[in-house]
Structure 1
Amino acid sequence: MKTIAALFFFSVLNCIAQTSGRIIKIDNFQSKFINARNVQIWLPPGYDTNKKEKYPVLYMHDGQNVFDKGNAGFGVAWEADGTAEKLIKEGKVKPFIIVTAAHGDSLRYMEYFPEKAAKNFTDEDNKVFKELSEKMNVQVNWLADEYLQFMIRELKPYIDKNYRTLPDAKNTSVCGSSMGGLISMYGICEYPEVFGQAACVSTHWPLLFDNNNMHPSEAVRTYMKDHLPSPTNHRIYFDYGTETLDQYYEVHQKMVDEIMQAKGFTEGTNWVTRKFEGASHDEQSWQDRMDVILEFLYGK
């Protein structure tokens, strides 16, 4: 009887593995480039039973806020795993893996700011950021290049070695919100051979926290004009809301949209910009449109 009971138990577990995704947690993933941080991997339904199938991978920033509200900074998570599982079961998207890396706490702004764009700052811009860093109690020490090295030289090779992935650029995407939107844009520009898609959610184009001084953001647009990847084999998603911090984004996004058009991207094909009326700059708003983001990236 015990043998029958054990077989039944493992049969139930097997069924659960087929119909539900699961999360693997790695604490203090070590890096030569940045501070160690927690990494989480979400494996889609069927991963454990379809042993021959390989999967696209979505890399997401701000890993604390992606899956579990218990770990989220403001008590609300994107719940990307739940949305992905629902869309997969409904047949709206193809199955994929999600990998998250936590942000570097007080270094988040420095890790996510497009480092090479700072070369376009004027002396006045540098003065503004020196004052901002003092208010944030951090040094002006741009770390985005180091953060991306961690992603492409350490994290991605680990994922490709230990999980059944489709490792080419076509099947590798990057996604983040606010400053995470900036580093997602930067990632696909710096490493177009690694990332084929980017989702830049409520991208923090102003760099500051209002539009009283819009000049520093010109440095980012100048960088984009020089470094956007080829529209023939890359796809980019942008969006923004209209409330709280997002209220300042539309004027910037329209200028970015002009750059996208000038660089040969076609809206509705390899690029979209979505405006969400009434949406705020917070995890709840991003959770609410996670389905839109994932359908752009992985829709059938």
Structure 2
Amino acid sequence: MRAFIAILAILTLTVPVGAGAAHRPDPVPAQIVRGTPDVPHGRLDKYEAFASRFVSARNVWVWVPEGYDPRGPRLPVIYMHDGQNLFETSTAYGGQEWGIDEALSAMGQKVIVVGVWNSPTRYADYFPQKLAAYLPPEMRAQVTDMAKGELKADDYLRFLVSELKPFIDRTYRTRTDAAHTSIMGSSMGGLISLYALGEYPQVFGRAACVSIHWPLMAPPTTPEAREAAADATAQAWEAWLRTAHFDPKRQRLYMDHGTRDLDSNYRPYSQKMETVLPRYGWVEGRNWRASVFEGTTHNEADWRARVDIPLGFLLAP
């Protein structure tokens, strides 16, 4: 029971921000941060309680690299979920941030990163909404219980695509095409990143799904139940893949997981997905990478240690 509660906390972890979803004009940065121990390179623009017609208001933090020139070259953009965990230890879960700005600066990559904070409806926001229809009834019931109501991923993606991205493209010097627009997240954030790639291929050309939470909910506790759940989950993904709008000739997909703690449950699921995805045009080593990192677990420290790998995949020519 204690392990289940811990898993539930990880999947639904939220940071409350703002209130309401009333539409408002473009926000003004509440704070600009640069030259601090947490943000030693570049600049972090903090938009508080960014309002939307589709989802509840949430913080949006935008990092631009050192030497960014609003009249200079246009830059690629990475949209990342759980934005409070990316740049500053004071807001990150467990006080451990991803160090996205440090990683990109060390890599010499000139890119803009948009960190979208999660909300009190994180699970509902990040669960691939159309996938639920293809799950067995008992699994759909568990998803509904976890979401505490209706799934919201389609509205969350509408927010990203029709409200946030246009604001970012108006405000910053961006390369607006799909080939230079990526989406990235971990755990449930990995699920919504994969979902976004299939729902909006004209917007997102690349996705990175770190420790992607293939079980969708708290994993079964026995190997037999886990195998059955992995079968049902893979079948649901394949049913959705038949209706999705992926363009593997133009898109790139990265996914990984570890082998300890929560991630120790993932291999039966990822193995099945590694047989499903090639049927839909994904070729390992060409437009798709699937990795298992032995000895790593489901937390920001381990994701930070390897974040240059998915970032490098997203930003490769």
Normalising by the residue count of structure 1, what TM-score does the alignment of the two structures yield? 0.86
Give secondary structure in 2 for the equivalent of 1:227. coil
Task: Report what 2:136 is aligned to.
Answer: 122
Task: Report what 1:87 is aligned to.
Answer: 107
Q: Render the CA deviation track for 1:23-71: whole Å, top value 9, x for unaligned.
A: 11000101000000000000012213x7320000000000111111110
2:46 to 8, 15, 25: 25
Distance 2:58 2:297 in 1: 28
Pairing 1:270–2:287 present = yes
Give secondary structure in 2 for the equivalent of 1:188. helix
1:42 to 33, 53, 63: 63
Distance 2:67 2:238 in 1: 42
Task: Report what 2:162 is aligned to.
Answer: 153
Q: CA deviation at 1:198?
A: 0.3
Q: Render the CA deviation track for 1:139-174: whole Å, top value 9, x for unaligned.
A: 221000000000001100000001000000000000
Distance 2:192 2:169 in 1: 22
Runs (4+) of structure 1 exceeding 4 A deviation are: none
Task: Report what 1:185 is aligned to.
Answer: 194
What residue identity is the alignment partner of 1:291? D
Pairing 1:258–2:272 present = no
Pairing 1:99–2:114 present = yes
Cα RMSD of the aligned pairs, angstroms, is: 1.8
Q: CA deviation at 1:83?
A: 0.4
Q: Render the CA deviation track for 1:205-227: whole Å, top value 9, x for unaligned.
A: 10122233516524234213432
Q: Render the CA deviation track for 1:165-188: whole Å, top value 9, x for unaligned.
A: 000000000000000000000001
Give secondary structure in 2 for the equivalent of 1:231. coil
Task: Report what 1:78 is aligned to.
Answer: 98
Q: Are the counterparts in 1 of residues 128 and 153 from structure 2 also a CA contact under 8 Å?
A: yes
Distance 1:120 1:111 in 2: 18
What residue identity is the alignment partner of 1:232? K
What residue identity is the alignment partner of 1:97? I
Structure label with greater radius of gyration: 1
Q: Are the counterparts in 2 of residues 113 and 179 from structure 1 also a CA contact under 8 Å?
A: yes
Aligned residues: 271
Distance 1:294 1:128 in 2: 33
Distance 1:47 1:202 in 2: 31
Q: Are the counterparts in 1 of residues 41 and 101 from structure 2 also a CA contact under 8 Å?
A: no
Give secondary structure in 1 for the equivalent of 2:272. helix
Give secondary structure in 1 for the equivalent of 2:212. coil
